Chains A and B, each alone.
Chain A
Amino acid sequence: MIARRLALLLCLYGLFSVAFLTVNARGNWDFVLWFRGTKLLGISLVAVAIAVATVLFQTLTHNRILTPSLMGFDALYALLQTVLVFTLGGFGFSQLSAQTSFFSSFTIMMVASLLLFGSLLGKSVDGRREDIHRLLLTGIIFGVLFRSFSSFLQRLIDPNDFVVAATSAMASFNSINADLLLVSSLMIAAALVATWRMRFDLDVMALGRDAAVNLGVHYKRQVYAMLVIIAALVSVSTALVGPVAFFGLLVSNLTYQLLPTHRHAILLPAASLLSACVLIGGQVVLEQVLNLSTPLSVIVEFLGGLTFLILILKGRNR
């Protein structure tokens, strides 16, 4: 059953990709395929990054309603963009090369997430219990702090710069920067290889710290390895399309429903495929079939938020 569903997801992904490349295509095929192909690659990369990061984060925190973005990541990203606009001015900001902007957000996000989650989870690595409530509250408080600080900065800059800051902090699957695709493909590939190599340890770590230590998993080392991988994946996806808060939650929980297994060797590829299917399929339907101009991110966030509420109301926070 599990193999069949995985195969089905793979077929769906192929189908949506072909549809994405060809539906309503007019004019020069070379151009269309190149143009849509880079977009397809970009969306697929983001989809995989968000799915894997979310599943890893949920395994790490033993909690299925937490995602890296719920812990203040999106707010941090918005803050970073605002600070850049604030210091460089709207014109200076738009003059920045894609790579510079990418690597600066990547480095800062990496350091910040390691500091934030590393200090919180580091305590529970040595200490007695994982304090999930403290982790969550700290994340939320940091989120509020980042958000207030960026709105404070936005009040100080002039209205033209404000527009630049506001657009750069919004998620958009349409304006993926093609210059960044090579760099981000390499980074995501490295992160995926590292994740795949620890897939069996991940299964054990989902049992909780004591059980994992008992079964001989080097828990502390693996926690930090996971944090680095999550930070890399989230940074890449945020740099490519901007913050998407609820998408990871939607995808990971759909995966748990669709494939009731504890094995990460299945969960990780399944979540990645499902995530790519949702994004690409959604984009095709929205752009080509319905001719709507609503950004996909808005609809995805709506569905994701709905999932979050349903999960909370059902009390399935384990």
Chain B
Amino acid sequence: MINIQSVSHSIQGQTILSDISLSLPKGKLSALIGPNGAGKSTLLSLIARLHALQHGVITVDGLDVSKTPSRTLARKLAILSQSNTLASRLTVRDLVSFGRFPHHNGRPGAEDKNKVDEAIAALGLGEIAHRFLDEISGGQRQKAFVAMAYAQDTDYLLLDEPLNNLDMKSARALMQTLHELSEQSGKTIVVVLHEINYAALYADWIVGLRDGKLIANGPTHDILTSETIETIFDFEAEIHQIGDQKLVMHYR
């Protein structure tokens, strides 16, 4: 379980998050939604100790993220950040192999190699595994970074807009993989999503933010009402029922 208690954050006097308290269920796929600048990425970075906490406490599986040694946390939680630029020239396989670093500290063994192979296969990167990252498309690069987080093989996986640059088929495949990971391997997954219907179809839990404030927090079915969507995104959206599935008609 990820427990967030009265977390506030400001950058240069500008409030990014104000007094957020919530807990994300263990073993489920949670979606973080909200308009641009709502503070979704900041919240995710704070959970993953990429920024120092200013106010409040965050615990992951009972471990306080600001006190637990970084190496211990690296075996517990992985994050895929939004912008990934690289200085060194790496192949896809090199990059994915880095995901195993917290487990082997620079000396990979047989098990690490298997995990890397598994991650490459899971993201369908087998054919381009030997290519350099600066020679492949943005979507393929995005997949390589997801594969790296996958290879890290942590109980908690945080992904900041993982569907960026992905085509429809890849986006769908990635969401299915994430869903399987939480369903079958019991991993806790938190995803920042912009396409709310992916949240509607795959997420068990939805957290809605707006202007740094917590607007909605609950099971997917309860959150998907036109009133809640309107308070989060500030536009009227019809909710359609297709089978037992709710979908948000937000295209027009």
**Which residues of A line the B interface, CB within 8 A?**
58-59, 62-64, 126, 128, 199-201, 203-204, 206-211, 213-218, 256, 260, 262, 318
Instruction: Pick from A206, A216, A256, A318: contact of B74, CB below 8 A.
Output: A216
Q: A262 to B105, Cβ gap below 8 A? A: no
The interface residues of chain A lying within 8 Å CB-to-CB of B26 are: none
Given known A200-B106, A217-B70, A218-B70, contact A210–B75 (CB-CB < 8 A)? no
Q: A64 to B87, Cβ gap below 8 A? A: yes
Give Cα A216–Cα B103 distance, bound, in whole angstroms: 10
Given known A199-B106, A210-B50, A213-B49, contact A262–B88 (CB-CB < 8 A)? yes
Q: A128 to B85, Cβ gap below 8 A? A: no
Instruction: Pick from A62, A211, A218, A318: contact of B84, CB below 8 A.
Output: A211
Interface of B is mostly: loop
The interface residues of chain B lying within 8 Å CB-to-CB of A128 are: 11, 51
Q: Could you list 15 examples of A-B contacts with CB < 8 Å? A: A64-B87, A126-B51, A126-B52, A200-B105, A200-B106, A209-B50, A210-B50, A211-B81, A213-B48, A213-B70, A215-B99, A215-B152, A216-B73, A216-B75, A318-B85
Give Cα A241–Cα B70 distance, bound, in whole angstroms: 41
Question: For chains A and B in complex, what number of residue pairs have CB atoms within 8 angstroms?
Answer: 76
Give Cα A64–Cα B102 distance, bound, in whole angstroms: 26
Instruction: Pick from B45, B51, B78, B87: contact of A208, CB below 8 A.
Output: B87
Q: A214 to B48, Cβ gap below 8 A? A: yes
Give Cα A63–Cα B48 distance, bound, in whole angstroms: 26
Residue picked from A126, A215, A256, most chain B C-beta under 10 Å: A215
Give Cα A74–Cα B24 distance, bound, in whole angstroms: 54
Give Cα A203–Cα B86 distance, bound, in whole angstroms: 12
Q: B101 to A216, Cβ gap below 8 A? A: yes
Instruction: Pick from A204, A206, A210, A217: contact of B81, CB below 8 A.
Output: A210
Q: A203 to B74, Cβ gap below 8 A? A: no
The interface residues of chain A lying within 8 Å CB-to-CB of B87 are: 58-59, 62-64, 206-208, 318
**Chain A min CB distance to B81 (Å):** 5
The interface residues of chain B lying within 8 Å CB-to-CB of A203 are: 98, 106
The interface residues of chain B lying within 8 Å CB-to-CB of A217 are: 70
Q: A215 to B85, Cβ gap below 8 A? A: no
Q: A207 to B70, Cβ gap below 8 A? A: no
Give Cα A126–Cα B54 distance, bound, in whole angstroms: 12
In the complex, which residue of chain B has the Cβ closest to the Cβ of A64? B87
